[in-house]
Structure 1
């Protein structure tokens, strides 16, 4: 394993990269500007490459600098998150809930007012986790995938079905009961090929053949995909329960007919399992009950 550079050099580079000037970085770190410059120079010497292109003004980061900044964003972000969580916990009851970004945006946020009202003495902290990002575990963990722990509780249903905006269907002379996949744009997610249901796997699971005439649009996140569907750009797949708020208001229409049943789903657990503190278990139980409604 490669030896890590000195922490002072990394913090100096991180501050300079975020603020854009050595003066602002020095102010944040409470040191002199020359001290910041020396720390960055020592870091570059240690790494054996330039992190900033100083041949022109204003200086710009090199590709090596951009790569390091991206890594530091993740590392320092997790440290900042942990420190904030520890400080909040020291002031009172705090429960952090980690969940995939799509679940947070489309299931948890619409219920956040009810959750907050049910626990007025507890600070609830939501950590949105995009698929593929470094794990940032909360006290209550909601993850997507296969069940792998007997202490996990499955949330929502196991059916996967297509939904679309009524306006999208109307423009194509279709409805939730009368439609043609071959004349639709199918919205899918890049990560779905190994992690989710993409359209080919959904058609196969539903016992259907994917039509050759359908156009496919690919997205990198479920939130983007759903927003595209809401904007009338195509039809997307929905895990039972995730988009209920849109189906109830009529912003989305479920296409009646075939559905797939998947062993994958959203699973709920406490980070410390059965040893979790009571206020953590209370939040977990509230989410579990809400997920069955």
Structure 2
């Protein structure tokens, strides 16, 4: 038996009422009267055969059925909003969205945005930044960090994972630069313990050098790489740098690589098209530009 969908006007009235918390707010958004919103919700409840709001309590709260319906509507309307945005942008044909991990966006992409805009003067470049491991909407051009994906042979690797220790001249003016593994004892290490499963961290870096991390090091922990880099530049400790990611700071002398020993893996930053072969020509051109800037061959 085919399921019959309820009235769309009832669903929108219920969704708006929950989001605004009042019928007045919902009525204002939908450009109807408050009684009209109330009637639409009542008709929706009658159609479903159950109450979506518990009106015996003050303030009014959703019932279990109401919470279930709201969860479904939230997902559905967000999907519609994303699709609408994509269709409108595609119709204009002048906006290209690029998404990627926050560290890559902050320290690799943003320094190159001027050159990217010059290469595409009539195109608006929109940037979406996400924390590593965070679910988010991929851009027209999507950058991810991780291991190679055999199911995505179209991805382009633009940066590998080669990690080395670095510190600022300010930190080194106050502390003796460590030259061996044992010399790290007593130093402050900047960490991102919450994301260890995604990339190299201090324990794995020491392990790659055939040693264990000294037990008497101090640590400062951060939840974003951008915060860690700011602390690194401010002389708060020693941090791990990804080759190719913080080169501008190293070249300017704002950071100093402490040794030529590094830890590496097969992971890296991978570039791909969200819409694959159906992507607009200017989206494909932006991907090719980023690939070339990363020293990789163009995909298209």
Task: Normalising by structure 1, report the TM-score.
Answer: 0.77
User: What is the aligned partner in structure 2 of residue 161 from structure 1?
Assistant: 164
Q: What is the CA distance between 1:139 and its match in structure 2?
A: 2.0
Q: 1:233 & 1:31 partners in 2: Cα distance?
A: 57
The question of whether the paired residues in 1 share the 8 Å contact of 2:99 and 2:143 is answered with yes
SS in 2 for 1:210: coil
Q: Per-residue displacement from partner, 1:46-79 (whole Å, max 9, x unpaired)?
A: 99897999747xx999xxx999999988775554
Structure showing greater radius of gyration is 2
In structure 2, what is the Cα distance between the partners aligned to 1:276 and 1:251?
Answer: 40
Match in the other structure for 1:242:
245
Q: Alpha-carbon deviation of 1:146?
A: 0.6
Do the aligned partners of 2:96 and 2:126 also contact (CA within 8 Å) in 1? yes
Query: Structure 2: how far apart are the matches of 1:201 and 1:70?
Result: 40
For residues 176 and 289 of structure 2, the distance between their equivalents in structure 1, rounded to whole angstroms, comes to: 39
Aligned to 1:122: 123
Where structure 2 has 5 or more consecutive residues not aligned to the other structure, the ranges are none
Q: Is the 8 A contact 2:132 2:195 kept in 1?
A: no
Q: Which position in structure 2 is the counterpart of 1:262?
A: 265
Seen in structure 2, the aligned counterparts of structure 1 residues 266 and 92 have a Cα distance that, compared at 3 Å, is same
Taking structure 1 as reference, are residues 164 and 277 closer, same or farther at Cα in structure 2, changes over 3 Å only? Answer: same
Give the deviation of 1:36 after TM superposition.
5.0
- Aligned partner of 1:137 in structure 2 is 138
Contact 1:5 1:46 in 2 (8 A): no
TM-score by length of 2: 0.75
The residue aligned with 2:176 is: 174
Query: Alpha carbons of 1:75 and 1:165: their partners in 2 closer, same or farther (altered >3 Å)?
Result: farther
CA distance in 1 between counterparts of 2:221 and 2:49 reads 41
Where structure 1 has 5 or more consecutive residues not aligned to the other structure, the ranges are: none
Q: For each residue in 1:199-237, what CA deviation from the matched residue of structure 2 results, as whole angstroms up to 9, or x when unmatched? A: 111211233321111123333222232233233332222
Asked whether the equivalents of residues 155 and 288 of structure 1 are also in contact (C-alpha less than 8 Å), the reply is: yes
User: In the alignment, which of 205, 210, 213 is matched to residue 207 of structure 1?
Assistant: 210
Equivalent residues in 2 for 1:1-293, closer than 5 Å: 15=16, 22-34=23-35, 55=58, 79-148=80-149, 149-171=152-174, 173-175=175-177, 180-274=183-277, 276-292=279-295
1:68-120 Cα shifts (integer Å, max 9, x gaps):
99998877555434422321221123322121121111111111111011011
RMSD: 4.0
**Distance in structure 2 (CA, Å) of the matches to 1:198 and 1:167:** 23
Contact 2:160 2:266 in 1 (8 A): no
